[in-house]
Structure 1
Amino acid sequence: MPSLTGLPLQIIATLVAVAAFAATMWLWPRLGGRSWRSWLGRLGAFFGTQVAVLVAMGLVANSYFGFYSTWSDLLGLDGSPGTVVDHQPGGKAVAVTGEQKMYSAQGSAQDRSGVIQQVEIHGAATGLTGTPAYVYLPPQYFQPAYANTRFPMLLALSGYPGTPEKLISLLQYPASTLKAIEAKELPPTVLVMMRPTLVGNRDTECMDVPNGPQVETFFTEDLPKAMSASYRVDDRPESRAVIGDSTGGYCAVKFALRKPDAYRSAIALSGYYDVHNDPTTGDLFGGSDQVKRDNDLLWRLRNHPGPPVSLLLATSRNEENYGPTQEMVAAFKAPTKLSTITLDSGGHNFHTWTREIPPALTWLGERLAAPGSAPATAAAPGSAAPGSAAS
Structure 2
Amino acid sequence: MTILMPYQALAVDQTDVRYVHGPDSTRQPGVPVGKTVEFTWANSAVYPGTSRKVWIHVPAQYDTSEPASLVVFQDGAWYLDPDGEVRGAIVLDNLINRGDIPVTIGVFVDPGVFGSDNLGNRKNRNFEYDAFDDRYVTFLLDEIIPKVAARYSISEDPDRWIICGGSSGGNCAVTAAWLRPDKFRRVICCLASFAQIPGGNPYPALLHREDRKPLRIFMQVGHRDLGWSDPEMNWLAENLRTAAALAETGYDFRIVLGDGGHNANHGGVVLPDALRWLWRPTNA
1:190 and 2:113 correspond: no
- Partner of residue 168, structure 1: 81
1:331 and 2:255 correspond: no
For the structure 1 residues 148 and 216, does the alpha-carbon distance in structure 2 shift closer, same or farther, using more than 3 Å as the test?
A: closer
1:1-391 alignment to 2 at 5 Å? 70-71=15-16, 73=17, 76=18, 78-79=19-20, 100-103=24-27, 112-121=32-41, 126=46, 131-141=52-62, 146-158=63-75, 164-165=77-78, 167-169=80-82, 170=84, 171-197=86-112, 200-202=122-124, 203-206=126-129, 214-276=135-197, 292=199, 296-319=202-225, 320=228, 321-332=235-246, 336-343=251-258, 345-366=259-280
Q: What code does the residue aligned with 2:105 have?
A: V
For the structure 1 residues 314 and 167, does the alpha-carbon distance in structure 2 shift closer, same or farther, using more than 3 Å as the test?
A: same
| Structure 1 CA distance for aligned equivalents of residues 281 and 139 of structure 2 | 24
- Partner of residue 55, structure 1: none
- Partner of residue 4, structure 2: none
| Structure 1 CA distance for aligned equivalents of residues 167 and 275 of structure 2 | 17
| Structure 1 CA distance for aligned equivalents of residues 65 and 39 of structure 2 | 23
| Structure 2 CA distance for aligned equivalents of residues 123 and 234 of structure 1 | 25
| Structure 2 CA distance for aligned equivalents of residues 209 and 315 of structure 1 | 20
| Structure 2 CA distance for aligned equivalents of residues 134 and 318 of structure 1 | 31
| 1:221 Cα deviation from its structure 2 partner | 3.9
Structure ID, larger Rg:
1
| Structure 2 CA distance for aligned equivalents of residues 130 and 232 of structure 1 | 25
SS in 1 for 2:24: coil
SS in 2 for 1:150: coil
Instruction: Provide structure 1 residue ranges, at least 5 long, that are not aligned to the other structure.
Output: 5-68, 82-98, 278-291, 369-391
SS in 1 for 2:262: coil
| Structure 2 CA distance for aligned equivalents of residues 209 and 311 of structure 1 | 18
Q: What code does the residue aligned with 2:38 have?
A: Q
TM-score for the superposition, normalised by structure 1: 0.56
Q: What code does the residue aligned with 2:80 have?
A: L
| Structure 1 CA distance for aligned equivalents of residues 278 and 96 of structure 2 | 11
| Structure 2 CA distance for aligned equivalents of residues 154 and 307 of structure 1 | 19
For the structure 1 residues 367 and 222, does the alpha-carbon distance in structure 2 shift closer, same or farther, using more than 3 Å as the test?
A: farther
Identity in percent: 18
Give the aligned CA root-mean-square deviation in angstroms.
3.2
Contact 1:243 1:266 in 2 (8 A): yes
TM-score for the superposition, normalised by structure 2: 0.75
| Structure 1 CA distance for aligned equivalents of residues 180 and 113 of structure 2 | 19
| 1:236 Cα deviation from its structure 2 partner | 2.4
For the structure 1 residues 123 and 275, does the alpha-carbon distance in structure 2 shift closer, same or farther, using more than 3 Å as the test?
A: farther
For the structure 1 residues 255 and 309, does the alpha-carbon distance in structure 2 shift closer, same or farther, using more than 3 Å as the test?
A: same
Q: Between Structure 1 and Structure 2, which shows a larger proportion of helix residues?
A: 1
SS in 2 for 1:132: strand
Q: What code does the residue aligned with 2:123 have?
A: N
SS in 1 for 2:38: strand
Contact 1:137 1:190 in 2 (8 A): yes
For the structure 1 residues 274 and 101, does the alpha-carbon distance in structure 2 shift closer, same or farther, using more than 3 Å as the test?
A: closer
| Structure 2 CA distance for aligned equivalents of residues 157 and 349 of structure 1 | 15
1:137-172 CA distance string (max 9 Å, x none): 00012xxxx3311101100112xxxx6155323121
Please identify runs of 4+ aligned residues in structure 1 that moved more than 4 A.
121-125, 127-130, 207-210
SS in 2 for 1:112: coil
For the structure 1 residues 338 and 358, does the alpha-carbon distance in structure 2 shift closer, same or farther, using more than 3 Å as the test?
A: same
SS in 1 for 2:214: coil
| Structure 2 CA distance for aligned equivalents of residues 323 and 253 of structure 1 | 17
Contact 1:154 1:242 in 2 (8 A): yes
Q: Which protein, 1 or 2, shows the higher relative CO under an 8 Å CA cutoff with sep ≥ 6?
A: 1
| Structure 1 CA distance for aligned equivalents of residues 113 and 98 of structure 2 | 35
